[in-house]
A and B are shown apart, each in its own frame.
Chain A
């Protein structure tokens, strides 16, 4: 068969690699800033754009979609052409993909600090950016599938299967979770509400971890570990079993983020069952990665690239053992809403994603520039800084998680909560948060060393944009090929099968939850928010309050004693989006407005607390929100918002949108008058009034049910 010559273009892979480095530093830096903001709440200097609530989504988005996202694309654009023996399908599509993705990141970096957010964790970007993400993902898919079609190798290597599964699944996840009803430019409401929204969100959130941070990075692992070790993967057969088991099982496990919440028990149980089974395929991947290095451990001692890969794969193994453990209800009862979860995700992010990315970059740059790495010892120093940084970050947070959970649950011999003041439980873990900052500084310092090392490497060489290669043209498949071997030669059929695998679990969980009405019990006393409360809720979302405060009282004695009646599924049926949160840096707010309740505070207290939290409690770690008392409510948007809610099925009276502004003004003036009686002068049309109205509404519907009963 004739040998064909062709050329790889390294330019786009290099662009993505540089973007990975740049956004990685930004993501780590913002993470460090928000860790400091928890310790020193005044650190935002009263600037709304850099409060914890607005920066935390920026940190998570920067790390997941900018750092890891660009890392994935670096791996794809470098490995796919070489594995398929063909240049990428289209240079134009590659460039659109690169610049489009960077535009998305810049849009996120601008809009999130401005408070333009959907309020759904890891999916905070508003609908115009969601549309852009969809378009760019199509471009990426088109380019990848096009390259697969014009390949010169008959069979597709396992790394590319993982890339295909990530491509297909992320598309399904992103589109389904981002279905929103626009109200105005950069403001929308999720079409789902309450329990259903929570389910869709965590189906998305969990599988963003599964397919973006894991499957795509397994693709990276399957290509770069053999390259760096210069030996094939340990077992190709294991990779087949682990691939199919992983993508089939992962998609079911999302509800483990909602254990003990008001989602139906059967959904929670499914999440637990599949999370536990997930240990097997996850460890299949880890074992395959680590055993690839058997016989090459002498190289690991010397080579910083392999060291990073070893720690990365080990962290993957630890995180994927810990994840299923955290999914057990008895463990989750302790870990949920505490720092344990934060420690867990950072073992994954700093260990698995971080180390794998650093290893890849240290391997790639010398090959891009055809020169030795500028400094091996600098890379080794980075390795130790990153490893120690990860440990200094995670270990204190494990202690913090256990400590806080135990303090939340401890009762005195007389049967009272031992630590009824939530703040007391935070102050106990403050030293652990200081250690976390040390971990963050170490990790970031390692990143800075990497920048220097890679820059010096680039400067000492010359970028080799093109690389020649040759291969025979694609031969016809043998008729006698067995099932999986045949499948490896059919990328589109492969993608469709992967899609079916992930859809089975999704459909079995989605359909009953959305269609069987009795899964979400209706509560007669639960009414839609008033226009002012709705505006207040939007301010709550805008300020990112959900990043620190949950709205989900779990059915434990310790929580009912601390907060009040446990949360019911019917309570949040008008919540577009749900606001249950995932972490309690501050107390739960689900029962905040219940008069005579455990946490009830008058309007004047809320005003003082929002404007200057340290005035109401000297040791409070909440940042001040003085601008809320100065900025006006966007009253003009009220009719549009009510109209949108009506379209989503919220039962406001017909035509209510036309009287909504009057309703808002009456309620706002009443709150302002009450504040005036308490000696606080504030105009009725200020944002703080709307937020107070929302806070005072929380939990009151169910407090009414005590008298009216649940239907």
Chain B
């Protein structure tokens, strides 16, 4: 039921019609992989920017977190 509804909604979307015609065989693969990899690169660039802009003190503070816990860190 929900699959049918989804199908109806998608069929009414112009963009979807374009994508679905591309995905009927492997020829459309180029477009899909380009879209998919673009998603990844957008995410990757956002993460890279945020990492580059990160203050060194914050990175130092974060990486030391496991060593700041209770007495369990003592040598046994």
Which residues of A does B touch, CB under 8 Å? Answer: 8, 79, 82-83, 85, 153, 155, 157-159, 222-223, 226-227, 230-233, 235-237, 240-241, 244-245, 248-249, 252, 264-266, 269-270, 273-274, 277, 366-367, 370-373, 467-469, 482-485, 488, 501, 504-505, 508, 511-512, 514-516, 518-519
Task: Tell whether A232 pairs with B50 under 8 Å between CB atoms, given A511-B10, A512-B19, A512-B23.
Answer: no
A190 to chain B, nearest CB (A): 15
Please state if A469 and B69 are interface contacts (CB–CB under 8 Å): yes
Please state if A8 and B70 are interface contacts (CB–CB under 8 Å): yes
Please state if A269 and B33 are interface contacts (CB–CB under 8 Å): yes
Scan residues 1-24 of chain B and give those whose CB is less than 8 A from a CB of chain A.
Answer: 3, 6-7, 10, 19-20, 23-24
> In the assembled complex, which residues on chain B have CB atoms less than 8 Å from the CB atom of A227?
66-67, 72-73
> In the assembled complex, which residues on chain B have CB atoms less than 8 Å from the CB atom of A266?
23, 25-26, 28-29, 32
Please state if A277 and B32 are interface contacts (CB–CB under 8 Å): no
Q: Which single residue of chain B is at the shortest CB-CB distance from A497?
A: B43
Please state if B70 and A467 are interface contacts (CB–CB under 8 Å): yes
> In the assembled complex, which residues on chain A have CB atoms less than 8 Å from the CB atom of B63?
226, 232-233, 235-236
Docked CA distance A317–B11 (Å): 44
18 CB contacts below 8 A, A to B, read A157-B66, A226-B66, A230-B73, A232-B64, A236-B63, A241-B47, A244-B44, A248-B39, A274-B36, A277-B40, A468-B70, A483-B49, A484-B54, A505-B36, A508-B35, A515-B6, A516-B24, A519-B24
- Which of A230, A231, A245, A265 is within 8 Å of B44, CB to CB? A245
Task: Tell whether A158 pairs with B50 under 8 Å between CB atoms, given A82-B69, A265-B25.
Answer: no
Which of B19, B25, B50, B61 gathers the greatest number of chain A CB atoms within 10 Å?
Answer: B50
Docked CA distance A240–B65 (Å): 15
Please state if B50 and A515 are interface contacts (CB–CB under 8 Å): no
Please state if B36 and A516 are interface contacts (CB–CB under 8 Å): no
Please state if B23 and A519 are interface contacts (CB–CB under 8 Å): yes
> In the assembled complex, which residues on chain B have CB atoms less than 8 Å from the CB atom of A79?
66
Which of B33, B39, B58, B63 gathers the greatest number of chain A CB atoms within 10 Å?
Answer: B63
Q: Which single residue of chain B is at the shortest CB-CB distance from A232?
A: B63
Task: Tell whether A515 pairs with B10 under 8 Å between CB atoms, given A157-B62, A244-B43.
Answer: yes
Docked CA distance A273–B32 (Å): 11
> In the assembled complex, which residues on chain B have CB atoms less than 8 Å from the CB atom of A235?
63
Q: What's the count of A-B pairs with C-beta under 8 Å?
A: 142
- Which of A236, A249, A468 is within 8 Å of B62, CB to CB? A236
Q: Which single residue of chain A is at the shortest CB-CB distance from B32?
A: A266
- Which of B26, B49, B54 is within 8 Å of A269, CB to CB? B26
Q: Which single residue of chain A is at the shortest CB-CB distance from B27?
A: A266
Please state if B66 and A159 are interface contacts (CB–CB under 8 Å): yes
Which of B7, B48, B65 gathers the greatest number of chain A CB atoms within 10 Å?
Answer: B65
Please state if A226 and B3 are interface contacts (CB–CB under 8 Å): no
Please state if B32 and A485 are interface contacts (CB–CB under 8 Å): no
> In the assembled complex, which residues on chain A have CB atoms less than 8 Å from the CB atom of B36?
252, 270, 273-274, 505, 508
Task: Tell whether A484 pairs with B76 under 8 Å between CB atoms, given A159-B66, A248-B43, A516-B23.
Answer: no
Across the A-B interface, give the 5 residue pairs with the lowest CB-CB distance, nearest first. Answer: A265-B26, A82-B69, A469-B70, A232-B63, A484-B50
Docked CA distance A223–B62 (Å): 12
A494 to chain B, nearest CB (A): 13
Given A158-B62, A519-B23, 9 extra CB contacts under 8 A: A226-B66, A236-B59, A264-B23, A273-B33, A273-B37, A366-B76, A367-B72, A467-B70, A484-B47
Which residues of B does A touch, CB under 8 Å? Answer: 3, 6-7, 10, 19-20, 23-26, 28-29, 32-33, 35-37, 39-40, 43-44, 46-51, 53-55, 58-67, 69-73, 76
Please state if B24 and A153 are interface contacts (CB–CB under 8 Å): no
Q: Which single residue of chain A is at the shortest CB-CB distance from B76?
A: A366
Docked CA distance A484–B50 (Å): 6
Please state if B72 and A467 are interface contacts (CB–CB under 8 Å): yes
Docked CA distance A615–B44 (Å): 61
- Which of B32, B37, B47, B65 is within 8 Å of A244, CB to CB? B47
Docked CA distance A482–B51 (Å): 10
Docked CA distance A518–B58 (Å): 53
Docked CA distance A230–B76 (Å): 13
A181 to chain B, nearest CB (A): 14
Docked CA distance A373–B73 (Å): 15
> In the assembled complex, which residues on chain A have CB atoms less than 8 Å from the CB atom of B49?
483
Q: Which single residue of chain B is at the shortest CB-CB distance from A467?
A: B70
A507 to chain B, nearest CB (A): 11
A230 to chain B, nearest CB (A): 7
Task: Tell whether A270 pairs with B32 under 8 Å between CB atoms, given A367-B72, A371-B76, A482-B54.
Answer: yes
Please state if A514 and B70 are interface contacts (CB–CB under 8 Å): no
> In the assembled complex, which residues on chain B have CB atoms less than 8 Å from the CB atom of A230?
67, 73
Q: Which single residue of chain A is at the shortest CB-CB distance from B28?
A: A266
> In the assembled complex, which residues on chain A have CB atoms less than 8 Å from the CB atom of B51?
237, 240-241, 484
> In the assembled complex, which residues on chain A have CB atoms less than 8 Å from the CB atom of B65?
83, 153, 157
Docked CA distance A158–B25 (Å): 41
Docked CA distance A468–B36 (Å): 49
B36 to chain A, nearest CB (A): 6
Docked CA distance A8–B63 (Å): 22
- Which of A82, A157, A223, A482 is within 8 Å of B50, CB to CB? A482
Q: Which single residue of chain B is at the shortest CB-CB distance from A366?
A: B76
Task: Tell whether A232 pairs with B3 under 8 Å between CB atoms, given A158-B62, A482-B50.
Answer: no
> In the assembled complex, which residues on chain A have CB atoms less than 8 Å from the CB atom of B19?
512
> In the assembled complex, which residues on chain B have CB atoms less than 8 Å from the CB atom of A484?
47, 50-51, 54
- Which of A237, A367, A504 is within 8 Å of B39, CB to CB? A504
Q: Which single residue of chain B is at the shortest CB-CB distance from A364?
A: B72
A528 to chain B, nearest CB (A): 20
Q: Which single residue of chain A is at the shortest CB-CB distance from B65?
A: A157
Docked CA distance A269–B36 (Å): 12
Docked CA distance A269–B25 (Å): 11
Q: Which single residue of chain A is at the shortest CB-CB distance from B44?
A: A245
B18 to chain A, nearest CB (A): 12
B75 to chain A, nearest CB (A): 8
> In the assembled complex, which residues on chain A have CB atoms less than 8 Å from the CB atom of B58?
155, 485
Please state if A232 and B66 are interface contacts (CB–CB under 8 Å): yes
> In the assembled complex, which residues on chain A have CB atoms less than 8 Å from the CB atom of B23?
264, 266, 512, 516, 519
Q: Which single residue of chain B is at the shortest CB-CB distance from A252?
A: B36
B20 to chain A, nearest CB (A): 5
- Which of A85, A159, A232, A516 is within 8 Å of B20, CB to CB? A516
Docked CA distance A265–B37 (Å): 17
Please state if A241 and B66 are interface contacts (CB–CB under 8 Å): no
> In the assembled complex, which residues on chain A have CB atoms less than 8 Å from the CB atom of B55?
482
Docked CA distance A488–B43 (Å): 17
> In the assembled complex, which residues on chain A have CB atoms less than 8 Å from the CB atom of B32?
266, 270, 508
Docked CA distance A366–B37 (Å): 47
Q: Which single residue of chain A is at the shortest CB-CB distance from B53?
A: A482
Q: Which single residue of chain B is at the shortest CB-CB distance from A85?
A: B69
Docked CA distance A270–B36 (Å): 9
